[in-house]
Structure 1
Amino acid sequence: MSLSDSDREIVTGELGREPTRAEAALFENLWSEHCAYRSSRPLLSAFDSEGEQVVVGPGDDAAVVALPDHGSGEGETYITLGIESHNHPSYVDPYDGAATGIGGIVRDTLSMGAYPIALTDSLYFGDFDREHSRYLLEGVVEGISDYGNAIGVPTVGGSLAFHPDYEGNPLVNVACVGLVSEDRLVTAEAQEAGNELVLVGNATGRDGLGGASFASEDLAEDAETEDRPAVQVGDPYTEKLLIEANESLIDEGLIESARDLGAAGLGGASSELVAKGGFGAEIDLNRVHQREPNMNAMEILLAESQERMCYEVRPENVERVEAIAERFDLGCSVIGEVTEGNYTCTFEGSEAQRASDDTSGEQSEPRGRETVVDVPAEFLADGAPMNDLAHVEPEEPARDLPDVELREAFETVVGSPNTASREWVYRQYDHEVGVRTAVKPGDDAAVMAIREARAEPRSADGSSGENRETGTGLAISAGADPNWTGAAPYEGARAVAVENATNLAAKGATPLAAVDCLNGANPEKPAVYGGFRGIVSGLADACSALSVPVVGGNVSLYNDSATGPIPPTPTLAMVGTREGYDAPPTRLSGEGRLLVVGDPVLAGEAEPELGGSELLARFGGSDRFPAPSEGAPEFVAALAAAANDGGTLAVHDVSHGGLAVALAEMVGEAGARVDLSGGPTIGTLFGERAGRAVIETTDPEAVHERFEDVAPVSEIGEATPEKTLVIETDAGELSASAEEIRALRDVLERELD
Structure 2
Amino acid sequence: MVDTVQQAVQTPDVEQPWAALGLKEDEYQRIRELLGRRPTGAELAMYSVMWSEHCSYKSSKIHLKRFGELEQTTPRGPLLAGIGDNAGAVDIGQGYAITFKSESHNHPSYVEPYQGAATGVGGIVRDILAMGARPIAVMDGLRFGALDAPDTARVLPGIVAGVGGYGNCLGLPNIGGEVAFDASYYGNPLVNALCVGVMRHEDLKFAKATGIGNKVILYGASTGADGIGGASILASETFDDSKPSKRPAVQVGDPFMEKLLIECTLDLFAGGVVTAIQDLGAAGVSCATSELASAGDGGMRCELDLIPLRDSTMTPEEILMSESQERMMAICQPADVARFMAICAKWDVQATVIGELIEGDRLLIDWHGERIVDVDPRTVAHEGPTYDRPQARPVWLDDVQADHANNLPRPVAGDELADALLRVVGSPNQCDKTWVTKQYDRFVRGNSVLTTPEDSGMVRIDERSNLGIALATDANGRYCLLNPYLGAQLALSEAYRNVAVTGAQPVAVTDCLNFGSPEDPEVMWQFVEAIKGLVDGCRALGTPVTGGNVSFYNQTDGHNILPTPQIGMLGVIDDVRNRIRTGFTAPGEIVLLLGTTKEELGGSMWEDVLFDHHLGGLPPFPDFEAEMALGRVMAEASSLGLLTGAHDLSDGGLAVALSESCLRHGLGVRVDLPTGLDACVTLFSETPGRALVSVSEPRADEFVDLCEQQKVPVVQLGEVTREPQLEVSGLFTLALDLIRATWQAPIPAAMEA
- State the TM-score, normalizing by the size of structure 2: 0.91
1:149 alignment partner in structure 2? 168
The letter of the residue matching 1:37 is: Y
Give 1:125's match in structure 2, choosing from 133, 136, 144.
144
Corresponding residue of 1:625: 619
Amino acid at match of 1:305: S
Alignment of 1:491-640 (within 5 A): 491-562=486-557, 564-582=559-577, 583-589=579-585, 590-601=587-598, 608-620=599-611, 621=614, 622-631=616-625, 632-640=627-635
**Where in structure 2 are the equivalents of 1:663-678 lying within 5 Å?**
663-667=658-662, 668-676=665-673, 678=675
Asked if the contact 1:208/1:229 (under 8 Å) is kept, the reply is yes
- What is the distance in 2 between the residues matched to 1:44 and 1:714? 41
Aligned counterparts of 1:134 and 1:712: Cα–Cα separation in 2: 45
Aligned to 1:10: 30
Q: What's the CA shift for 1:600? A: 3.2
Paired amino acid for 1:595: L
* 1:410 equivalent in structure 2: 421
Q: Deviations over 1:311-364 (max 9, x none)?
A: 011111112211222222222111101223344344445xxxxxxxxxxxxxxx
Q: Which residue of 2 aligns with 1:712?
A: 713
Q: Determine if the alignment matches structure 1 residue 701 to structure 2 residue 696.
A: no
Report the CA distance between 1:58 and its aligned residue: 1.1
- Is 1:194–1:339's contact at 8 Å kept on the other side of the alignment? yes
Deviation at 1:304, TM superposition (A): 0.2
Distance 2:465 2:292 in 1: 33
3-state SS of the aligned residue for 2:460? strand
Over the aligned positions, Cα root-mean-square deviation in angstroms equals: 1.6
Aligned residue in 1 for 2:641: 646
1:749 corresponding residue in structure 2:
748
1: CA distance between counterparts of 2:211 and 2:734? 67
Look up the equivalent residue of 1:317 and give its one-letter code.
D
Q: Deviations over 1:480-535 (max 9, x none)?
A: 12222222211111111111111111110001211111111001111111111122
Q: Which residue pairs with 1:94 in the alignment?
A: 113
SS of 1:45's equivalent? helix
1:275 to 2:294 alignment: yes
Q: Shift in Å at residue 408 of structure 1?
A: 2.4
What is aligned with 2:65? 45
Give 1:473's aligned residue: 468
Q: 1:393 to 1:707 in 2, by over 3 A?
A: farther
CA contact (8 A) 1:49 1:550 kept: no
For 1:491 and 1:639, locate their aligned partners in 2 and report how far apart those are by CA, in whole Å.
24
Once the two structures are superposed, residues 568-612 of structure 1 have per-residue CA deviations (whole angstroms, 9 ceiling, x without a partner) of 1111111111121131221102232111111233xxxxxx12111
Deviation of residue 403 (structure 1)? 4.7
Question: C-alpha offsets along residues 543-566 of structure 1, whole Å, 9 cap, x if unaligned?
Answer: 221111111111111111116101
Q: Which amino acid aligns with 1:703?
A: F
Cα separation, 2, equivalents of 1:409 and 1:53: 47
- Partner SS state of residue 17, structure 1: coil
Deviations, residues 179-205 of structure 1 (Å, cap 9, x unaligned): 111232211111212111100000000
Tell me if the contact between 1:53 and 1:66 (Cα under 8 Å) persists in the aligned partners.
yes
Deviations 1:4-61 (A, max 9, x none): 2111121111211111111112111111111111111111122226012410111111
Determine if contact 2:81/2:90 at 8 Å carries over to the other structure.
yes
Q: Is contact 1:611–1:626 with CA below 8 Å preserved after alignment?
A: yes
Tell me the amino acid that sits aligned with residue 36 of structure 1: S
Looking at structure 1, the residues matched to 733 and 65 of structure 2 have their Cα atoms a distance apart, in angstroms, of 50
- The one-letter amino acid paired with 1:723 is P
In structure 1, give the amino acid aligned to 2:654.
L
1:379 Cα shift?
Answer: 1.3
Aligned mates of 1:135, 1:402 — CA distance in 2: 37
Moved over 6 A (4+): none
> How many residues align structurally?
702
In 1, Cα distance between equivalents of 2:470 and 2:35: 50
Deviation at 1:382, TM superposition (A): 1.0
User: Contact 1:86/1:97 (CA < 8 Å) preserved in 2?
Assistant: yes
In 1, Cα distance between the equivalents of 2:702 and 2:532? 36
Q: 1:644 to 1:752 in 2, by over 3 A?
A: farther
Q: Quick one: which of 422, 436, 447 aligns to 2:433?
A: 422
Q: CA deviation at 1:117?
A: 0.2
Instruction: Give SS of 1:177's match.
Output: strand
Asked if the contact 2:493/2:624 (under 8 Å) is kept, the reply is no
For residue 55 of structure 1, the aligned residue among 55, 80, 83 is 80
Q: Secondary structure at the match of 2:199?
A: strand
- Identity over aligned residues, as a percent? 39
Higher deviation after alignment, 697-706 or 472-481: 697-706
Per-residue displacement from partner, 1:347-406 (whole Å, max 9, x unpaired)? 445xxxxxxxxxxxxxxxxxxx22111000111111112111111235351224145531
- Unaligned runs of 5+ residues in structure 2 are 1-20
Q: Is the partner of 2:731 in helix, strand or coil?
A: strand
Give the Cα–Cα distance (whole angstroms) in 2 for the partners of residues 341 and 587 of structure 1: 62
SS at match of 2:338: helix
Q: Which structure shows the higher helix fraction?
A: 2
Could you state the TM-score of these two structures normalised by the residue count of structure 1? 0.91
The CA deviation string for residues 388-441 of structure 1, in whole angstroms up to 9 with x for no partner, is 111123535122414553122111101011011122211111111111101122
Amino acid of the residue matched to residue 322 of structure 1?
M
Distance 1:340 1:49 in 2: 36
- AA aligned to 1:435 is G
Aligned partner of residue 137 in structure 2, secondary structure: strand
For 1:198-209, what aligned pairs fall within 5 Å after superposition? 198-209=217-228
How far apart are the structure 2 equivalents of 1:593 and 1:103? 45
Other structure's SS at 2:576 match? coil
1:67 matched residue in structure 2: 92
Aligned to 2:188: 169
- Asked if the contact 1:483/1:614 (under 8 Å) is kept, the reply is no
1:489 matched to 2:521? The reply is no
